[in-house]
Structure 1
Amino acid sequence: MDDYVSRVMEACGLPKYYKSRYPHEFSGGQRQRICIARALALNPDFIVCDEPVSALDVSIQAQVINLLRDLQREYGLTYLFISHDLSVVEHISDTLGVMYLGNIVEFAETEMLFSRPLHPYTRALLSAIPVPDPDYKMDRILLKGSIPSPTKPPNGCKFHTRCEECMDICTRVAPDFREIEPGHYCACHLYGGADTMSGVSAAHMPWYSDRASRREEGKMRLSRGEMRSVIAGALGASLLVALVFAGVFAGFILFLEMIVFK
């Protein structure tokens, strides 16, 4: 057992002599590696990563993300990555779901979702990604109002109280979560029976085209693996984790009537 623990620790970048240290002697990045090692020790196929790089500085975030990628390739792992950090999610995930008040409002391959966001909430989130240039003025979409109570959500679309594109139907009828274009799902009345190509593409927004050009300059692209990500608030993340584990215990995870993990 001692040798096995040492091998798992070393796989996560932790020297085996760390076994004799006390918790207060570890840095934030080391503690995160320990959490990963604890999960890896069970020899899993599927790992839920709930905010794995939160409260870490950028350099440590990069180390943890690279570690997760290395472990994914070596052990054939599948991750469900829950995070508020869009800039991190963009680089590590293959598919991405956006949650609002406990519900997934948009789901697509990450590249598709970033280049062509459909839901107004997704557009607002993408517009908030910072650009590392003090002279650049962000063209942010500011959401008005406050998040409704999860115990007493509004009628109709849960986002309508903060949506600038709210229509009368939004206040009365909850939109169906359906496929708007191949592989791209969204819950929004803006796309009910309309030409899907009439939606606003992020590529046509000034903040996106400028950010995209800056991002391509010297950007390191990580190799693709089995990585799923969800942008979620605290309630949405907790609910999602509960649902995921319910699916895992049943032998599979069912999403949009498709088996995504078995």
Structure 2
Amino acid sequence: MASRAGRLPVVLYSPGMYNERTLDTTVVEELASHGYAVITVDPVHEAHAVEFPDGRIIEPAPGLGTIETGADRSRAALEVRVADIPFVLNQLAVLARGGNPDAGKRPLPRGLGQALDLRHTGMFGHSLGGMTTAEAMRVDRRIRAGANLDGPLGYDWADPELLLPVARTGLDRPFLQMGAWLTGPSGRLPHTHEHSPSWRAMWRNSTGWKRDLWTEAAEHNSFTDYQTVLTGLAERLTLPQGLLTRMTGTVDPARFTASRRAYLTAFFDQHLRGRHQPLLDSPSPLHPDVQFIG
């Protein structure tokens, strides 16, 4: 741990359903380069085995894949994830007090705990990870600011009654939403608070700072490393017809990756460090793909 770094604001990251914690390394590295301690949380019991530092391997839960409806599956996965976040924050608090939460009590990097500024903690996530971010903020006030990358805030888009509790209560702390498209009974619509029932409920019920950003040329996985990884693969391999467009849309991959990094860094700089960021006030010519909805 670099001693000159001082105390670092903490940001947690939660990936989409069935994805691994490494799937937004592009943003994690960007935040770390700006002086954040970024904690990425692997979701256990979903689609891949998770290896813990002591060598234990947690296999996927056989029951999750057998749940018939998507709403019930999301509810079951979200319950586990939201319970994980306060546990992670508690262990970080142990670390910050000079303790060692490592299961095997192995030595940790000198100065690591002292570098964590848990008074300034934020979180972001993609898809189910965005849902996790919102719900974790509802149940744990230690998270001071959160960002949702194209995650619904209801268990079932087709049923507006199946809202997450946080969509009904709203939040009194800063919350950023960045969306692409959603598909429901009425067809394909922009994923914004003007079109999504769950985002609309969250928007109306929240009293904290809020911003809704939309990218027309993006798709759901544009908000992950797939935006750059698939583009790189397509330059060297023949991918299935239409896969790249379905996954990441037609947005320029390098430009949108830079935009995603810029907006998330600006968001946490403003709301965890108290540094006003003009980028969050109005559209920028440097990021022409990003539209301000509210």
TM over 0.5: no
Greater C-alpha Rg:
1
TM-score, normalization: structure 2? 0.28
Q: Using CA pairs below 8 Å that are at least 6 residues apart, which structure has the higher relative contact order? A: 1
